[in-house]
Amino acid sequence: MENILIFTDGSSRGNPGPGGWGAVVVANERVVELGGGEKHTTNNRMELQAVISAIDFLIEYELLTLNFKCVVYTDSAYVINGITKWIAGWKSRGWLTLQKEEVLNRDLWEKLSYLLEDMPGDEKIKWHLLKGHVGVPGNERCDVIASTFADKKSIKLYDGLISGYFIDIKSVSYDQQKSDLRGASKQRGSAKAYSYISLVNGKVIVDKSWADCEKRVKGVLGVRFKKSLNKADETKIVEEYSKLAIL
């Protein structure tokens, strides 16, 4: 039994803000890259759209048969948990959560549910949660595609034989150093903030609350912002952004 591989990723600048999605489909020794964008969206919607578009592609071109097993790799826990844990309950309650609230992104979840019902076989898809941005070739490529569409830039999408593809798409091994750095970044993300520093239109601004910083950066293209953990950290980030502001 041969595998069809799908790698997906989504991006949103500002979350919500301009967004993009990317997918790489591997089937019949062929690689096809897919991508798209929206003017105003969220990261979760783009993560979902990437999966939907990839599966829709397989169905449209009749690449799914009983002789194939489809494996989806995504770094979105939202997608994985939604499809493997939550969606059955949502559907049984008429697309309501346990709190009797309408499911967020219901339109996309319904599309995904409909597509999965059309897939052949009993075990239609195997879902794998990847660590994001730790060097897995397919994940990194999808991130580039999604980010490029989010930034409204042009990108050439590959469609051809796997032998001519420029990355080792079948590899799901990751870079341990990148993984360690990613873990440190997550720890930093959960730590209490001292301040928030942003770089908007060449101006460096320090805010004491995320609410104030968020108003400034949300939905704005090209901004940078970072949380500081103490005064020394704040000074370091301000210096870093000040250098960028004069480039």
Model confidence pLDDT, tens digit, residues 10-49 = 999 989 999 999 999 999 899 999 999 999 999 999 999 9
- Which residue among 75, 140, 207, 234 is the active-site one? 75
- Single-letter amino acid code for the residue at 13: R
- Which residue among 9, 33, 140, 207 is the active-site one? 9
143 belongs to the catalytic site: yes
Task: Tell me which of 2.30.30, 3.30.70, 3.30.9, 3.40.970 is the CATH number of domain 193-245.
Answer: 3.40.970
- Which residue among 33, 38, 140, 143 is the active-site one? 143
20 belongs to the catalytic site: no
Residue range 178-188, pLDDT digits in tens = 545 454 455 66
Domain residue ranges of the chain, discontinuous segments joined by +: 2-177, 193-245
- Which residue among 133, 138, 140, 207 is the active-site one? 133
- Which residue among 47, 140, 207, 234 is the active-site one? 47
164 belongs to the catalytic site: no
- Residue-level pLDDT at 177: 52
- Which residue among 10, 35, 37, 82 is the active-site one? 10
pLDDT averaged over 10-residue windows placed end to end, the chain, 247 residues: 87 93 95 97 97 94 77 95 95 95 97 84 79 88 96 96 95 63 57 92 93 88 88 92 81
Fold classified for 2-177? Nucleotidyltransferase; domain 5 (3.30.420)
233 belongs to the catalytic site: no
- Residue-level pLDDT at 120: 60
- Residue-level pLDDT at 179: 43
Q: How is the chain split among helix, strand and coil, in percent rounded to 5?
A: 40, 25, 30
Give CA separation, 25 vs 91, 114, 141, in Å.
28, 20, 12
- Single-letter amino acid code for the residue at 99: Q
107 belongs to the catalytic site: no
- Residue-level pLDDT at 190: 72
